[in-house]
Amino acid sequence: MANKSEIVLITGSTSGIGLAVARHMAEAGHTIMLHGLLEPAEGEKMASALAAEFDVRCGFSNADISTAEGARQLVSDTRESVGNPSVLVNNAGIQFTASLHEFPAERWDAVMAVNLSAPFHLMAECIPAMRDANWGRIINISSVHGLVASAQKAAYCAAKHGLVGLTKVAALENADAGITVNAICPGWVDTPLIEPQIKALAERENIAIDDAKARLIGAKQPMPVATNPAAIGAMIGFLTSEAAKTISGASLPVDGAWTAQ
């Protein structure tokens, strides 16, 4: 683990991978800023429950980070609620599938805004204080689609490849200040994000949900099982530790050998 109790801001942390990261980091004693598009009362309730379960401080913001102002609002909410983030996990992400020549322009803009521009704005907001402290950890949740392509995912692939490039630039620029910046590139992870694709296949082929899931995952991953989100939490625990202080600018696949092919 990191040396002391860090202040960990995780975007999109009220479900899926982000929530698993929040739980892992809370269990290790860190202060957590939860974030997601929930009603304030619901988000505050989640934050209080997490704080009570692990005896840590925990805040919540529902800032919409699809604009630069929203991203700035999230950092300002974090500073007000729990303090200056020393660990930033850019995890929030959305998906839309369509052929490139039929891709609605507004969906392209929305995917780019949340998956690529938000991490840019959040890093820009958080890096100056990390540089002042001569310590910081940034982890960007990209995807295997930051390393290879799939049909129907023009915006998602472009944004996730962009995030890998942005990670490398941030790592280079801040290597002098004890800040590491890495990307994690998951294949299939068991979260609400993948459910629509499983349901669509089950309906299209008239097969059971479990069969659709196995078929969908097995079509891409030599290991035909989804990653448990807790594994990503554990990776982030390691990347924020002293032992990982020279791992920077890396894009780490967690993909059942998908990108080894």
Q: Which residues are catalytic?
A: 156
Which residue in the set 189, 202, 216, 235 belongs to the binding site for ligand NAD (CB under 6 A)?
A: 189
Among 25, 65, 158, 239, interactor with ligand NAD by CB under 6 A: 65
Separation of alpha carbons 162 and 123, rounded Å: 14
Which residues have C-beta within 8 Å of that of residue 183, sequence separation ≥ 6?
139, 140, 141, 142, 146, 163, 164, 167, 250, 251, 252
* Token digits of residue 197: 């694709």
Residue 191 binds ligand NAD (CB under 6 A) = yes
Contact indicator for 76, 84 with CB cutoff of 8 Å? no
Q: Exactly one of 1, 68, 94, 250 binds ligand NAD (CB under 6 A); which one?
A: 94
DSSP helix/strand/coil, 35: strand
In the chain, the DSSP E strands lie at 7-10, 31-35, 58-61, 87-90, 136-141, 179-186, 251-254
Residue 258 near ligand NAD by CB under 6 A: no
Q: Which of 148, 17, 5 is nearest to 86 (CA)?
A: 5
**Candidates 77-85, 89-97, 125-133, 209-217 — which segment interacts with ligand NAD by CB under 6 A?**
89-97
Query: Binding segment for ligand NAD among 2-10, 192-200, 208-216, 241-249 (CB under 6 A)?
Result: 192-200
Counting residues that bind ligand NAD (by CB under 6 A) gives 25
R_g over Cα of the chain: 18
Q: Least Å distance between CB 134 and ligand NAD? A: 29
The only residue of 9, 16, 46, 56 in contact with ligand NAD, by rule CB under 6 A: 16
- Closer residue to ligand NAD in complex, CB, 55/192: 192
Q: How far is the CB of 169 from ligand NAD (least distance, A)?
A: 19
